[in-house]
Structure 1
Amino acid sequence: MKTTLQLPFQLKGFLELGDAVLITDSNHIILDVNDTYQKVTGFEKSKIIGVKAGFIKSNLTNKETYCSMKDSLKQQIPWSGIFVNRKKSGELWHSSITITPFKIGNELYYIGIFRALEQLEEGLYISEDKKIEVQRELLKVLAISCEIRDPGTEEHLIRVQALTEKLLKAYNEKNNLQLEPNYMNNVIHSSILHDIGKAGMPEGILYKPGALSIYERKIIEMHPLTGADILNKMSKEINYDFIKSMEVAENIILYHHEKWDGTGYPFQLKGEQIPLEARVVSIVDVFDALTTCRPYKDSWSEEKALAFIDENKGKHFDPLIAETFISLF
């Protein structure tokens, strides 16, 4: 075992902290740990003094975290981050750690203070980017599972989501709306759910190659209500922060077939009675439907589809959003 420096008395006070504390020399050799560290990790102080601090690595912490830590400590500035280590039992230990360089005379020491993530307030250790990513994937899985009968559905949903993102951001910027980022993310992620109500529609009507009868059309026009019912039943069962805000999703599902002039369905809403998120998705959904081959129609060219949207602004579509959409091409 490597000979190490003795722990200076100036650092002994850190060992009284309630969080797990580990103190090393400049080579990251452990000089001392406190009782909390021993209790949490299961490693006895007498067994690990003189050992490199990284002995509890699990190889599950990403490389970028270690690079960031090394860069900061090389400059002798404090660093904070998330580590995934292993306890003596083999159990994973997720912890938030702050490492502070501490110079006494000519010697450099590092004070590591760990806090188990389970002790933190809910949500603090999950980054917003990660929450957004998980939300997006959860809603994608839900949407695709509801429309699994049609192998072309996934591509349609992904295209609608991508175009919704482009249109909403362009419309926000063009009109200086200063929409909240959280709201915009909700619209983008939830757009993929717009047609989940079709899961309750008979296949014979959904994929009928010819024109629908009046009766069949009435059944199809029920899919926004069916979709909202599916969403509400699911959200009652899942009490989880990632997907607990469903109002935007419900608006998209219920109202994306409403028309600006009030002739849409299922509620014949008119103009700005239709939520913004539904007005955005309405244009994107129609454009993708027109430019895609369906059992009952051939695909249109982009030019023809854009001309249709232009002709129907102020009738089917919000005119300002329609103009923004056309400008994207």
Structure 2
Amino acid sequence: MNESLRLFLTLSDAVIITDSSHYIVDVNSAYEHITGYRRDTILGAKASVVKSKYTNKATYKSMHEALDKGESWSGIFINKKSNGELWHSSISITPYTFDGSCYYVGIFRELEHLEEGIYIAEDRRNNIQGVLLKVLAISCEIRDPAIEDHLTRVQQYSESLLNRHNERMKSKLSDDYIQSVIHSSIMHDIGKSGVPEGILYKPGPLTSYERLIVEMHPLIGVDILEKINSELQDSFFKDQLSVARNIILHHHEKWDGTGYPSKLQGTDIPLEARVVSIVDVYDALTSRRPYKEIWPSEKALSFLRDHRGTSFDPDLIDSFVSLHT
């Protein structure tokens, strides 16, 4: 190995040097200390000796694509120490060529652990959030045996509508935001857990008093959410619950300001609430309920078009209808 590369081994950060095939050529004492692997036992081993199953596969793909082009790369790894403990670090890898031979110098910097002592990859975190929110939503509406199917469809419709609207309007909505709306959309009616069953599933028309009780469910839902949030006090869910709060509180607002509970109008209604408002109504119309029969899709779409600009965001309606043409 070229002597110039050995200078990297004097750094205080953990350093690993591999050949072009990613076999370990040398490591420094900081690498030994952090990983627990002794230098003389891992020289000649694959750099993946510290690999764990928790690093996002996309991270490895990005790394290999950059290195194959001869470019430097940096990212986050969740590796494994010799004793099995996880090691969370940022790493920069730089290719160097000497005398026709390529070497990779990896410089690791250990991340500060979260209070819980673990770093969670983005895709794993999103999956955990989605599952927990779904369980919560179902538990709040457990009186309805068909609720899981309804919640799944609302999620699917929300995803399709957001992606189509994003493309059609060139809105530049981030993937993180879209995922957050998809996960949170299933929370929209958790407040119905506080509505008496005799009113909630009444087959005939509601009295004005019963209607008033039903229209309290967004406020009941937000109260449930805020109790959960106060117990968690965790940034893990902070953004997710913010989007969920908007959906729960405002998915019955109307574009012309005649909705409830706040009589918001137009774009004052959060986008995520406007999206769920449309897909929730569409699924309600095209599903069998105690008080109605199933509507054909075209009849439901006609209803949405008829209320374009009064109940619903006209641009979102156009995007949703375009999914069915």
| TM-score normalised according to structure 2 size | 0.80
Correspondence for 1:267 among 262, 268, 272: 262
Deviation at residue 189 of structure 1 after TM alignment: 3.5
Which residue of the other structure, out of 149, 158, 168, is the alignment partner of 1:164? 158
Residue equivalent to 2:281? 286
Q: Pick from 301, 312, 320: which aligns with 2:296?
A: 301
Equivalent-residue separation in structure 2 for 1:225 and 1:295 (angstroms): 24
Alignment of 1:112-191 (within 5 A): 112-118=106-112, 132-175=126-169, 177-178=171-172, 183-191=177-185
Check 1:21–1:188 CA distance in 2 against 1; reply closer, same or farther (3 A cut).
same
Task: Structure 2 unaligned segments of length 5 or more: list them.
Answer: none
Q: Is the 8 A contact 1:258 1:269 kept in 2?
A: yes
In 2, the alpha carbon distance for the partners of 1:178 and 1:60 equals 30
Kept after mapping to 2: 8 A contact 1:134/1:242: no
> What is the rounded CA distance, in whole Å, between the counterparts of 1:178 and 1:253 in structure 2?
24
Where in structure 1 are there 5+ consecutive unaligned residues? 1-6
Which structure has the bigger radius of gyration? 1
Query: Where does residue 323 of structure 2 map in the other structure?
Result: 328
Q: What's 1:32 paired with?
A: 26
Instruction: Write the deviation string for residues 270-320 of structure 1: whole angstroms up to 9, x where unpaired.
Output: 445544433332222111101100122211111222222233334433444
Q: For the structure 1 residues 98 and 181, does the alpha-carbon distance in structure 2 shift closer, same or farther, using more than 3 Å as the test?
A: closer
1:250 aligns with 2:245: yes
The aligned residue for residue 226 of structure 1 is: 220
1:238 aligns with 2:232: yes
Task: Specify the alignment match of 2:17 in structure 1.
Answer: 23
Q: After superposition, where does 1:14-93 map in structure 2 within 5 Å?
A: 14-25=8-19, 28-58=22-52, 76-93=70-87
TM-aligned CA distance change 1:239 to 1:84, over 3 Å:
same
Deviation at 1:29, TM superposition (A): 4.8
Distance in 1, Cα, partners of 2:198 & 2:287: 20
Does 2:311 match 1:316? yes
SS at match of 1:197: helix
1:105 CA drift (Å):
2.6
Contact residue 97 and residue 112 of structure 1 kept, 8 A: yes
Task: Give, in whole Å, the separation in 1 of the partners of 2:18 and 2:179.
Answer: 43
Alpha-carbon spacing, 1:302–1:61, altered in 2? closer, same or farther (3 Å): closer
Secondary structure in 2 aligned to 1:23? strand
Moved more, 106-115 or 231-240: 106-115
Q: Distance in 2 between matches of 1:285 and 1:161?
A: 10
**2:191 is equivalent to residue 201 of structure 1:** no
TM-score normalized by the length of structure 1: 0.79
Say which SS state the counterpart of residue 193 (structure 1) adopts: coil
Per mean C-alpha deviation after superposition, the further-off stretch among 69-78 and 272-281 is 69-78
In the TM superposition, residue 195 of structure 1 has moved relative to its aligned partner by: 0.7
Contact 2:13-2:107 within 8 A present in 1 as well:
yes
Residues in 1 aligned to 2:58 and 2:313: alpha-carbon distance in whole angstroms: 45
Give the SS at the match of 2:259: coil
1:156 deviates by 1.2
Residue 157 of structure 1 deviates from its aligned partner by: 1.6
| Distance in 1 of aligned mates of 2:174 and 2:32 | 45
Work out whether residues 238 and 244 of structure 1, in 8 Å CA contact, stay in contact via their aligned partners in 2.
Answer: no
Distance in 1 separating the partners of 2:60 and 2:168: 41
Aligned length: 319
Give me the identity figure in percent: 58
Q: CA deviation at 1:229?
A: 0.8
- What is the one-letter code of the residue matched to 2:261? P
**Once the two structures are superposed, what CA deviation does each residue of 1:247-267 show, in whole Å capped at 9, x if it has no partner?**
443232122223344443333
Superposed displacement of residue 19, structure 1 = 1.2
Please list the CA deviations of residues 154-186 of structure 1 after superposition, one character each: whole Å capped at 9, or x if unmatched. 221222222223334444554555556655544
Q: How far does the alpha carbon of each residue in 1:14-69 deviate from its partner, in whole angstroms, 9 at most, with x for none? A: 11112111234456554432121121122333444455544444466577766665
The answer to whether the 8 Å contact 1:197/1:225 transfers is: yes
CA-atom RMSD, angstroms? Answer: 3.4
SS at match of 2:144: coil
